[in-house]
Structure 1
Amino acid sequence: MSGPLAPPQLRSVRQQASELLRVAIYDGELAPGERLTEREICERYGVSRTIAREVIRELEAERLIESNRRHGYIVARMSEAEIQDLYDVRILLEAEACALCAANMTTERAGRLDASMAAIEAAAASGDRQAQRDSNGRLYHEIFAGAGNVVLGQILNSLHGRVSYLRSLSMSQPGRPAASLTEMRALYAALKTGDGTEAARLSTEHIRAARNVALAAIRALAERSSS
């Protein structure tokens, strides 16, 4: 839920490698529990060992990968309890952020929301999962900035990696992209009209729906891996 990504040509080699590794995790190319080594990152992305170590540290801080005594590093696993806790925190904090953003609505901020929502609509029409992630992140960036609470924004942005992984997981499930788009349109409308109570309610409903889909997907993955 950080801001829009810089164009690829403006990102450093480390930033590009980090983003490519995130996408591999988000899209399930690298599954939870799968082993990662510095050498594999070097070979996969054509980077030095030094950069590979920096990428590992960055994604470990985001809780997308974790150290493992036997294998060095693995793609992080998330238990159902941890997922439930994460969504509970999102419900509490994002509802407040939406309420504050609506209360602080200005013509300029509404224009930025318009642009963000247009990007979401375009991404939904294209079916491009990376574009969907980026456009959703752009809208949330505007909401958190509009809330006007720096600490709240910092806390929510710190959850970005795991939220993006779960969002990718839920959005890969049949019917969820269309349902999510309907929910985001309603939230966007409430924000623009300055209705903080309605924006908070719609935010909560959206996150609860996403949580249910993500948990069902995690259970299905666990069943497949154990069979």
Structure 2
Amino acid sequence: MNTGLNLRITPRTVQQQTIEKLRLAIIAGVFPPGSRLIESQLCAQLGVSRPSLREALRSLQAERLIEIIPNRGPFVPKLSWEEATEIYDVRELLEVVAVGRCAVRITPQQVKELEKALDAFERAQEIGDSLERVTTAADFYAIILANCGNAILEEVHRGLVARISFFRGRSMSLAGRAQDSLNEMRAIYNAIAAGDEEGARKAAKHHLDQAKAAAKRAIEDEA
């Protein structure tokens, strides 16, 4: 697990940077599930005021990446298989359709961008950077969603990205899972590049089935 994330930020766009840094830290496992977030420590690590921190925490609460418990403060929620199941079920509804639509709509230039995103994920896999794996996988899917020709589908999926990344980080922590993910994502890319709508849907469904099974094992291990 990559825990070398530098939490220090500059005064510019303090609010957004605070949200982004904390989101990445949670996804990367710097603050593992079940851990309490101590406001005084976070203010010192981030170099921000307590009001700025609390605004950021409220934003992350809206994304369901943290829980704020009365009289106890903010916590990173423990992983729930029920919630994970719901996320993966919705991912299947959205991503299988999006991948199929993308295969028949994407432009040659965007196919190149998709290949670059896949290459970035492969580099992250080769060096074992857990955070970079999560962010580059999100970039790969963002290109697919942006080229599926359905703005509402893209918008709904974007609202789930933080929680998708949260569970993606857990599933890819298993030995060998990141390499399997790379192979599955390459199959999705190949089908999209070939304009194979049905093949792209099948590859996306297989990828999600494998990711869901890996997430279940990771959650059971952490429990």
Q: Tell me which residue corresponds to 2:157.
A: 156
User: CA 1:10/1:69 → structure 2, altered by over 3 Å: closer, same or farther?
Assistant: closer
Change (3 A) 1:202 1:33: same
TM-score scaled by length of structure 1: 0.88
1:58 alignment counterpart:
59
Asked if residue 96 in structure 1 is aligned to residue 97 in structure 2, the reply is yes
Give the drift of 1:114: 2.0
Tell me how far 1:200 sits from its aligned partner. 1.1
Specify the code of the residue in structure 1 equivalent to 2:92: I
Which letter does structure 2 place at the counterpart of 1:107? P
Q: CA RMSD in A?
A: 1.9
In 2, the alpha carbon distance for the partners of 1:101 and 1:196 equals: 8
Task: Report if the CA contact (8 A) 1:173-1:217 is conserved.
Answer: yes
Structure 1 residue 11 displacement after superposition: 6.8
Does the Cα contact within 8 Å between 1:14 and 1:55 map onto a contact in 2? yes
Distance 1:127 1:11, change over 3 A: farther
Report the residue type matching 2:118 in the other structure: M
Structure 1 runs of 4+ off > 4 angstroms? 8-11
CA distance in 2, matches of 1:95, 1:35: 36
Pair 1:128–1:10, CA change in 2 (3 A): farther
CA contact (8 A) 1:62 1:160 kept: no
Structure-1 separation of matches of 2:188 and 2:125: 16
Q: Which residue of 1 aligns with 2:195?
A: 194
1:194 Cα deviation after fit? 1.1
Determine the structure 1 residue equivalent to 2:4: none
1:36-115 map, 5 Å? 36-115=37-116
Residue 13 of structure 1, CA deviation = 2.6
1:134 aligned residue: 135
- CA drift of 1:28 comes to 2.4
Q: Please state whether the residue corresponding to 2:74 is helix, strand or coil.
A: strand
In the superposition, the TM-score normalised over structure 2's length comes to 0.89
The 3-state SS of whatever aligns with 2:147 is helix
Moved more, 87-96 or 102-111: 102-111
Instruction: Name the CA distance, whole Å, in 1 between partners of 2:64 and 2:124.
Output: 27
Secondary structure at the aligned position of 1:35 is classed as: coil
Q: Report if the CA contact (8 A) 2:100-2:197 is conserved.
A: yes
Partner residue in 2 for 1:28: 29
- Counterpart in 1 of 2:119? 118
- 1:9 deviates by 7.9
How far 1:101 sits from its partner (Å)? 0.6
Residue 221 of structure 1 aligns with an amino acid whose one-letter code is: E
Per the alignment, residue 205 of structure 2 pairs with 204
Give the whole-Å Cα distance in 1 for the aligned partners of 2:78 and 2:64. 9
**Would the aligned equivalents of 2:39 and 2:53 in 1 still touch at CA under 8 Å?**
yes
Q: Distance in 2 between matches of 1:9 and 1:51?
A: 13
CA drift of 1:198 comes to 1.1
- Once the two structures are overlaid, the 10-residue window that deviates more, 162-171 or 106-115, is 106-115
| Contact 2:15–2:56 under 8 Å retained in 1 | yes
Q: Structure 1 pair 112/65, CA: closer, same or farther in 2 (3 Å)?
A: same
CA deviation string 1:130-173 (max 9, x = no partner): 22122111111100000021110111111111110111111111
